[in-house]
Amino acid sequence: MGELSKRKAQRLRNRMAATLAGQGALADPHWRAAFEQVPRHMFLPRFFRPHPDGGWTAIADSDHEWLELVYSDWVWVTQLDCDDRRWALARGQGRTPGTATSSSSMPTIMAIMLEALEIRGGEKVLEVGTGTGYNAALLCHRLGQRNVSTVDVDPLVLRRAAANLERAGYRPTLATADGASGYPPTAPYDRVLATCSVSRIPLPWLAQTVVGGLIVTTLHRPLGAGLVRITAGRNSTGEGTVLPADGRFMPLRAHRGPDISELLRAVGDCSGPRSSTELGMNVVTSPSSAFEFFAGLVLPGVRPATGMTVGDLRQNWLVHPDGSWVRHTTERGRHHVEQGGPRRLWDETESAYERWRELGEPRREQFRLTIDPGGQWIWLDEPSGGHHWQLESA
């Protein structure tokens, strides 16, 4: 990179950090300095972005738009299944199909999670999900590389991250490991940061965190995912809260649920009685909806899918592995549903919505977590309040 490009990259980093601070995602001046100084472009020499006609377009550092895109507040997919073939196809033909298997998170959510660690200086941190290595570099800048360990289950992802980190001048402890087991060789930790999502908090994370230490991660749920922060207790116990900021990450591989496309194929061309409803599907499934988190608690295992829009008709689905399903359509502002299978999922959804309203329409930050070897629970307001739901595998 020439001197002119280096100066441009620095201007873009400063602009990105200023934007994050202006949004309230960056308050700690030490983290702002990290975002201003750690070169994200060294960790994203190539990536994929969604193509408007479906699939992915490959972007490389030889493209004129590359540097601006790197320092924009977007998540960039860095690996697809059969990655090398996908990359060659995308560069040769303009786009390629594929399933994302690794990514570089939005800087906004990275900043929010780093701030949520409540770093004071000198803490020892385990990062689960190395990805490109950029987040590990931010941690190294703030804490020193001796205090940072990072693991990823994918050896190819880890090799690329190691090369990126070396090129940028950072040398944390890196290991190919199943993040669900933490990383005992460098434990105990003052903080655990998972840049992947989990359906339940892995107990090894609690066991490897000092009492009073913090774990920041994302719940992997078909509905109602989001950031949580846990304070570690003794004997693999913990208490925590759901954070107000939303966050969605690729799941830890051991915590992936059934594929929604397989569930939809199982439903096939099913049909059922058609009825009208006042409840829009976006109220149930949109991350911006205050009801969505509660819906995920009351409807565990229910998975949403957005269908095609044909003319004025928009079709969406709710599906459960037990074969229950809902087809929700919207036409000219009017909502209709069909439902079938062993349960009437839409009836359950409407009942859940009414219960949420009766409880005062609680938002995600009103929910707390308790964790011990016997179970994991989410509570409304306080454990003594009576309203609670078991945190099940997604």
- Of all helices (H) and strands (E), which one includes residue 177? none
Q: Is 241 within 8 Å of 309 (Cβ atoms)? A: no
Kindly tell me the sign of the dihedral angle through the C-alpha atoms of 73, 100, 53, 320: negative
Tell me the C-alpha distance between 35 and 72, whole Å. Answer: 12
Three-state DSSP state, 151: strand
> End-to-end alpha-carbon separation of the chain, Å?
44
CB count, 10 Å around CB of 230? Answer: 23
Q: Is 44 within 8 Å of 14 (Cβ atoms)? A: no
The backbone torsions φ and ψ at residue 237, rounded to the nearest 5 degrees and listed phi first, read: -115, 165
- Of all helices (H) and strands (E), which one includes residue 64? none
Using the structure block, give the residue that is written with the tokens 């709710």: 318
Tell me the C-alpha distance between 16 and 35, whole Å. Answer: 8
Q: Is 235 within 8 Å of 308 (Cβ atoms)? A: no
Q: Which long-range contacts (CB under 8 A, 24 or more apart) does 50-54 make?
A: 51/94, 51/95, 53/95, 54/95, 54/97
Tell me the C-alpha distance between 323 and 321, whole Å. Answer: 5
Burial classification of residue 347, based on how many CB atoms lie within 10 Å of its CB (0-12 exposed, 13-18 middle, 19 or more buried): middle
Query: Residues 102, 103, 104, 105: which is the catalytic one?
Result: 105
105 is catalytic: yes
The type of residue at 55 is G
The catalytic residues are 105
